[in-house]
Amino acid sequence: MNKPLSFYRSYFLSKTMSFLRRRNSTDSSKTRIADPNIEKDGADDDDKKKDQYKIPQRRNSGSKKWSCWDNCCWFIGFICSIWWFCLFLYNTMPDSVPQFVTMAITGPLPDPPGVKLRKEGLTANHPVVLVPGVVTGGLELWEGRHCAEGLLGKRLWGGSFGEFYKRPLCWLEHISLDNDTGFDPPGIRVRPVTGLVAADYFATGYFVWAVVIANLAHIGYEEKSLYMAAYDWRLSFQNTEIRDQSLTRIKSNIELLVATHGGKKVVVLPHSMGVQYFLHFMKWVETPAPRGGGGGPDWCAKHIKAIMNIGAPFLGSPKSIALHFSIEVRDIAALRAQAPGLLDKDVLGLQTFKHLMRMFRTWDATFSMIPKGGETIWGGLDWSPETETVNNSAKKGTDNSTRNTGGNGNICDTKGVNYGRLISFSKDWAETHSSKIERVDFKHVAKGDKLTNSSNCDIWLEYHEMGNRAIKAVADHKVYTAGSILDLLHYVAPKLMARGASHFSYGIADDLDDPKYDQYKYWSNPLETKLPNAPDMEIYSLYGVGLPTERGYIYKVAPPSDCSIPFQIDTSVDGDSEDSCLRGGVFSGDGDETVPIISTGFMCAKGWRGKTRFNPSGIRTYNREYKHAPPANLLEGRGTQSGSHVDLLGNFALIEDVLRVAAGATGEDIGGDRVYSDIFKWSERINIKL
């Protein structure tokens, strides 16, 4: 029987109202706000009940306080969101957009050197060899422990450094060398990355050789005319040949480049520690086999047109002293002062400072950076080549004073500064005349009372074998020059220095014809070896100036604690004037932020200039300085006029010099010496037999 439509409408409404009453009844039983006197039937009662339920909720939410934690979370989230959004835009927008924005702000950009010189008609000519420095070359894993599973063939050093964050202790175990042998520990094989990618970028977005390679490509170079002489920069120079035959590979590749380019000689571009490595190579390649490469006494003359040394630490760097002594440099010491204890804490099982020191001290190549030439080069207790000292203390009872004689705009005030004192234990001892200083002979103080039981320490350093008496004796010696710094390092780390002394030397040869200088430990020291017999070859020293560069340190004894490094840079010490060269316990001189000018410039300014006993064939030498200028804006990145140690590889003026020489120009063609500092005046103050 068909029922009217009104019947179904009434039936549906009754069922709906019944369902709503049951639902509201259930909700009201779950809240304490419901009033038991309110009737539960009727739409009006339901509305009242809903109103009573909602009002308290609005009050509670409005009364909630905004905490500091909420602010921090929202701020971090906002910054991260902006960062990822910008990163997304950067990776998705066309390459022309950032260039257009830059041009809109700064005006038309100058042509890169390669583009500019190509327009002038310069083309690829001599093959080019690139020699990277310390830490800039990539290292990859070929065999590892269980903790390194899945990393075979992947980079441990360079790139993203992702494995350091994922498994730091495992990473440190594999990147460190064996303390006894100087090679990889048993069961581990880490080898250098090969090819141009070995050192084009140090980390993602941080160029090393990439800008130089790109500009060489602009004038016609390609991989067959370029060679990256990659090597394991952790090993001592001779050990790279023993383990990897790296020196033999360099010799073979240079011979191949010369043969495939119609006999044209190579232009070699070593950077940083690569400069010392190539000095070692030149002596090795002409030394008869089996001790050397057996290339004969004229190998360099036949195969090398020019060596353009970039940021060359020919005579070492004071930074190396601080790193070996306390694993500190200026920036690390400043960070330690801002966040006391942070770098000494055990974070995720990684005791930062002690692990870093243990790792660094296994890298034998770092010994090559210890200052060479002693007080003759670096200055003594009362003099240094960079400052002209007026000694009034003996007559008037006052401290000596110094005045800056630099010709580069006086980067800082050297009043009261004596760069010859590389380490001083207090500002007073750094300034007091030597006649008023009484020093303890620390070398004969026994190390009987150990600071701690080695079983209490996860990381065993030789400092743990020193007692309080030995630490006090080191501090009571008060000041250390380049003549006594080796004694200091031998005392605090005898095992370390015994290994280093077997591979490197730091003196000045009396007689270069003495057969002892045929040993490989002398080959990387330009003051203890001769340049090859290659009168047509040219040697350049290309380096930055105008940047504060570490030249000496003021130390203090750290508070005693188990497993600690007992010495720290005293960051509380500053000079007397606002522009003093003493800031945060560090004396600064002129240089490229890493290597002082006296180290980069002396050999080409005086030691090798003309025919000397170090340069018997009279190879022509040139000093080319690049005065630092910071980037004009953030869009310039690290700048095109930087004089900084690594950023110098992106300096347009330096790259133009390199390209012109590679295209066939001589040192005279590009203008000879170009000097802003007083390197020639400072060199004349160094009294050395030539």
Q: Which pLDDT band, with edges at 50, 70 and 90, does 673 fall under?
A: very high
Model confidence at 211: pLDDT above 70: yes
Contact 574, 582 (CB under 8 A): yes
* 620: β partners: 538
Q: Which of 271, 570, 645, 683 is catalytic?
A: 645
Query: Catalytic annotation on 272?
Result: yes
Check residue 167 and give its pLDDT: 83
79-108 burial code (b ≥16 CB/10 A, e <16): eeeeeeeeeeeeeeeeeeeeeeebeeeeee
Check residue 51 and give its pLDDT: 53
Q: Which pLDDT band, with edges at 50, 70 and 90, does 105 fall under?
A: low
Check residue 387 and give its pLDDT: 85
Q: Which of 46, 200, 592, 657 is catalytic?
A: 592
- Please state, in angstroms and rounded to a whole number, the distance separating the CA atoms of residues 594 and 596: 7
Model confidence at 373: pLDDT above 70: yes
pLDDT in tens, 515-549: 999 999 999 999 999 999 999 999 999 999 999 99
* 128: β partners: 226, 267
Query: Catalytic annotation on 572?
Result: no
Q: Which of 314, 432, 335, 470 is CA-nearest to residue 377?
A: 314
- Higher-pLDDT residue of 343, 283: 283
Check residue 475 and give its pLDDT: 93
Cα–Cα distances in angstroms (integers) from residue 670 to residues 113, 148, 405, 540, in the given order: 14, 51, 28, 12
Contact 273, 313 (CB under 8 A): yes
Strand bridging mode 538-545 / 479-480: unpaired
Beta carbons within 10 angstroms of residue 163's beta carbon: 21
Check residue 450 and give its pLDDT: 60
pLDDT in tens, 266-305: 999 999 999 999 999 999 999 999 999 999 999 999 999 9
Contact 143, 174 (CB under 8 A): no
Share of the chain above pLDDT 70, in %: 78
Whole-structure pTM over 0.85, yes or no?
Answer: no
- Higher-pLDDT residue of 126, 442: 126
The residues near 501 (Cβ < 8 Å, ≥ 6 apart) are 521
pLDDT in tens, 545-560: 999 999 999 999 987 6
- Higher-pLDDT residue of 71, 406: 71
- Please state, in angstroms and rounded to a whole number, the distance separating the CA atoms of residues 43 and 13: 13
Cα–Cα distances in angstroms (integers) from residue 658 to residues 60, 295, 333, 494, in the given order: 72, 27, 36, 42
Q: Which pLDDT band, with edges at 50, 70 and 90, does 16 fall under?
A: low
Check residue 75 and give its pLDDT: 79
Q: Residue 226 has which token pair?
A: 């370029």
- Higher-pLDDT residue of 355, 328: 328
Model confidence at 447: pLDDT above 90: no
- Please state, in angstroms and rounded to a whole number, the distance separating the CA atoms of residues 82 and 90: 12
Question: Average pLDDT for residues 111-137, to the nearest whole number?
Answer: 96
- Please state, in angstroms and rounded to a whole number, the distance separating the CA atoms of residues 489 and 361: 12
Check residue 548 and give its pLDDT: 95
Query: Catalytic annotation on 645?
Result: yes
Least confident of 93-97, 352-356, 368-372, 422-426: 93-97
Check residue 424 and give its pLDDT: 96
Q: Which of 236, 229, 230 is CA-nearest to residue 155?
A: 230
The angle subtended at Cα 322 by Cα 316 and Cα 324, nearest 5°, is: 85
Check residue 406 and give its pLDDT: 43
Q: Which of 28, 176, 236, 272 is catalytic?
A: 272
Check residue 518 and give its pLDDT: 94
214-226 burial code (b ≥16 CB/10 A, e <16): bbbebbebeeebb
Question: Average pLDDT for residues 194-210, to the nearest whole number?
Answer: 93
Share of the chain above pLDDT 90, in %: 60
Q: Which pLDDT band, with edges at 50, 70 and 90, does 237 fall under?
A: very high
pLDDT in tens, 146-177: 999 888 989 999 887 777 768 888 898 999 99
Q: How far is CA 625 from the centre of its chain?
A: 21
- Please state, in angstroms and rounded to a whole number, the distance separating the CA atoms of residues 321 and 332: 14
* Mean pLDDT value across the chain: 84
Question: Average pLDDT for residues 556-570, to the nearest whole number?
Answer: 81
- Higher-pLDDT residue of 20, 75: 75
Check residue 101 and give its pLDDT: 62
pLDDT in tens, 608-646: 999 999 999 999 999 999 999 998 766 667 889 999 999
